Amino acid sequence: MHLQDVSLFLTICETRSLAKAARRLDMSPMAVSRRLAGLEQDLGVRLLQRTTRSVSLTEEGTEFLPYARALVEAEEGAKSLFSGKTAGAIGLLRVTAPSGFGRRNILPLIPELLAANPHLNVDLQLNEDVVDIVGGGIDVAIRIAPLRDSTLIARKITDNPRILCASPAYLQRHGRPEMLRQLGDHPCLRLTSVPQWTFEADGQNTSISVEGRFSSNNVEGVRELCVQGMGLAQLTRWDVMKEIADGTLVEIALRDAQPQMLSVWALLPTTRYLPQRVSLFIEALKASLNQ
């Protein structure tokens, strides 16, 4: 298996076309097709389904993709060890994270990372969607929700429990709930994707449906209206830590239930070879959150 053929396979995956890959690599489509066939013969599997207009990954191609990236990145890393011109992490770091968490906790890290690593580039994708990190070429995905069974590798960054909170002005006008059942007497501001709030009671998770006149698919929207005294909100610690510290929000402790314990996770496509840029980013985020 030749690394040049592996790199060619990655280019085809990025362009989704043999012809486009050929133009990018300044090769003929025939040569690209021949070298791809040679790689498949070396591996003993079909990596791509070809049509006249496009290509798509087979199941085996999807499984091979993170290893292909790791092989090419390992070659680049090995070369950089003996290059006096290269210092620090190199290459393109692709990260995806929830928008609210990313703006508050990842964006502030980027200037220092780039300054300390002149040959590093960063592509940060902030959205609420669950991204296919293998197919999308993502190096690391930051997740806060409970993890589902997955073939991905998960590394815990820090604890991040859910927190029930309200503004001081709201609590002064409407009183502070003390029991789980009393949440039904209050307007609740919630994330669109979280129709129920989850707590821990008697050693088990319990979920309750909440009612309110406002919901949003964005953490910032829920937090802002909570600060303005429009109701109760349940967000995670890292979503409201700043507001609780400066007193614009107050954490509410119930007598018969505790916040659900969540964590901030880094999801990786594989750990067979972890590029230095990924390790550097994870350690920087962990250090920042655990200060």
Token duo for residue 220 = 């910032």
Amino acid 141: pLDDT: 92
- What average pLDDT score do residues 10-34 get? 88
Whether the predicted model's global pTM rises above the 0.75 cut: no
- Helix, strand, coil % (nearest 5) of the chain? 40, 25, 35
Query: pLDDT per residue over 159-200, tens digit each?
Result: 999 999 999 999 999 999 999 999 999 999 999 988 899 999
Query: pLDDT per residue over 123-157, tens digit each?
Result: 999 987 777 777 677 889 999 877 765 667 889 99
Please report how many Cα atoms fall inside a 13 Å half-sphere around the Cα of residue 269, on the Cβ side: 25
DSSP string, 77-112: HHHHHT-TT--S--EEEEEEE-HHHIIIIIGGGHHH
Report residue 271's pLDDT band, with 50, 70 and 90 as the boundaries.
low
Residue 76 has pLDDT above 80, yes or no: no
Amino acid 132: pLDDT: 72
93 neighbors 139 (Cβ within 8 angstroms):
yes
Alpha carbon distance 256, 182 (integer Å): 11
Q: What pairing do the DSSP bridges indicate for beta strands 215-216 and 153-159?
A: unpaired
